[in-house]
Amino acid sequence: MKKTLDGRNDNLTDPAVTAMGKEAGLTGQLLVAAPALAETFFERTVIYLCAHSEQDGAMGLIVNKRLAQPGLDDLFAQLGIDPNPPERRIGVCIGGPVEHSRGFVLHSADWAGEGSLAVDGHTTLTASLDILREIAAGRGPKQAMMALGHAAWAPGQLEQEILRDSSWFVAPASNEIVFGADHTKKWRQALDAIEIDPLLFSSSVGEA
């Protein structure tokens, strides 16, 4: 069995990461933080939903919160990934407040390994070290980003946060937002995709 990015041997069998079903229709879409989340961990975050169902809840990765330390080279050294420095670099984000030590690679669907989870026809989630070895060698999927940690919701919790609490907007995902290097623009780009002007929000939200 393949080792995961934190050295575990369970691949994607964690309940937070399994397919969870697709019937709710939000899998593969973006959650965009609304003003209600100002001054919280999720302020101005954009989350790619890797899985969502009414029965099992939801799991996603923040794609616009850059991880300052450790850097990619340091992570590869900790995981024993060669060559280091790698022949190819990808962005590393804080994926969410759950399991900070656990790593995931969200990537285009042109590559898959043992334990990879197909999110939709365009995007795949992988948590084995194989993908990092491929990337370090200059190969692997065309587009990729790494996240440490993830965001998770119990059954019904996300629906409540969207519909009753007005904590999130739902927006379509795009390669530019998910895999783009300029994290400072992603929140506004996601709002633009659903024709919401952040300047109309309360001044207490501040500037992007």
And the tokens for 178?
């998910």
Give the model confidence (pLDDT) of 23-49 as tens digits: 447 999 999 999 999 999 999 999 999
Give the pLDDT mean for 48-75: 94
Give the model confidence (pLDDT) of 87-131 as tens digits: 999 999 999 999 988 999 999 999 999 889 999 989 999 999 999
Give the pLDDT mean for 179-198: 95
Least confident range of 42-46, 53-57, 187-191, 201-205 = 201-205
Residue type, 102: R
Rounded Cα distance, 59 and 151, in Å: 6
pLDDT of 185 strictly over 90? yes
Give the model confidence (pLDDT) of 6-26 as tens digits: 555 444 434 334 333 344 479
Give the pLDDT mean for 186-191: 97
Pairing of β 98-108 and β 123-126: antiparallel
pLDDT of 162 strictly over 50? yes
Contact 80, 136 (CB under 8 A): no
Whether the model pTM is above 0.75 = yes
Rounded Cα distance, 70 and 82, in Å: 17
Give the pLDDT mean for 137-164: 97
And the tokens for 91?
């962005």
Mean model confidence pLDDT for the chain: 87
SS3 readout for 69-98: CCCHHHHHHHHCCCCCCCCCCCEEEECCCE
